[in-house]
Amino acid sequence: MKAFRIAVAALLTLSIAACGDSPDDNPRSGTASSGAAITGSVTVFAAASLTESFTTLGKQFEQANPGTTVTFNFAGSSALATQINEGAPADVFASAAPKQMTAVTDAGNTTGAPTTFVKNQLVIAVAKGNPKGIKGLVDLAKPDIKVALCAEAVPCGSAAKTAIDTAGTKITPVTLEQDVKAALSKVKLGEVDAALVYRTDAKAAAADVDAVEFPESEKAINDYPIVVLKNAKNAAGAQAFLAYVLSADGAKVLTEAGFQAP
């Protein structure tokens, strides 16, 4: 009997060892417990002010995930929200303000709650050397100063209105643009003397323009939310890109571009 018990114990030991080596139960086997590789195309609709930083993040994401391609549609957040709600195919939406994101979430076109990932602040963009000597918002009210603003319906325009109202002044622009890049281009081309743009856009165009800080901008800081869209064709890729934006690597790129932490 003693010999029998020893034999049974040996068989049980062998059986347990064999079960422990099963690929399905071993977390190091790289099968059942490991995540699938991210591949395919990820389409990102992003506010125009994110052009430079997101282009960099897209390249880094592709390098970190061989087999992926990130395609961007940069435009005014209002236009992007309309496109998404009208059925334009996209995986991720990054807005320059909560209002435009709310339009998409209220339409039921997002997955989960949006996450604020950065903030942005306005500056006055002027020609290199600031030839008109512009020091603040009150200077933009002078009749000989040509100013470009974003349309009030888009985030940079809404922020500009808040800042101008805070200053208690009145500015009559010679043009209203549909996104911040268009407003900035008017300064770069010499068509206006100044434009209210985001600090990040002025920094990206530092070779062509100077940035004048003004205190009222602190009352008009925009939150930037990001979310995966409900009808994303590459949901896994979309989640991975969003996670990359929120990662330390993403924060580094965004901070260097001039964005503020949320």
| 259 contact partners, CB below 8 Å, separation of at least 6 | 53, 118, 119, 120, 200, 224
Mean pLDDT of the chain: 89
pLDDT digits (tens, 9 = 90+) for 217-256: 999 999 999 999 999 999 999 999 999 999 999 999 999 9
CATH fold for the domain made of 122-219: D-Maltodextrin-Binding Protein; domain 2 (3.40.190)
Q: Where are the domains of the chain?
A: 40-119+223-256, 122-219
CA distance 54 to 78: 18
Q: How confident is the model at residue 1 (pLDDT cuts 50, 70, 90)?
A: very low
pLDDT digits (tens, 9 = 90+) for 76-132: 999 999 999 999 999 999 999 999 999 999 999 999 999 999 999 999 999 999 999
Q: How confident is the model at residue 23 (pLDDT cuts 50, 70, 90)?
A: very low
- Res 35: pLDDT: 53
Q: Torsion angle of alpha carbons 92, 34, 68, 112, nearest 10°?
A: 0
Does 40-119+223-256 match 122-219 in CATH topology?
yes
Q: Record the pTM.
A: 0.84
The percent of residues above 90 in pLDDT, for the chain, comes to: 86
CA distance 236 to 36: 9
- Domain 40-119+223-256: CATH superfamily is Periplasmic binding protein-like II (3.40.190.10)
Q: Which of 32-46, 90-104, 161-175, 219-233 has the lowest mean pLDDT?
A: 32-46
CA angle 74, 114, 216 (to 5 degrees): 70
Q: How confident is the model at residue 206 (pLDDT cuts 50, 70, 90)?
A: very high
Average pLDDT value for residue range 13-29:
34
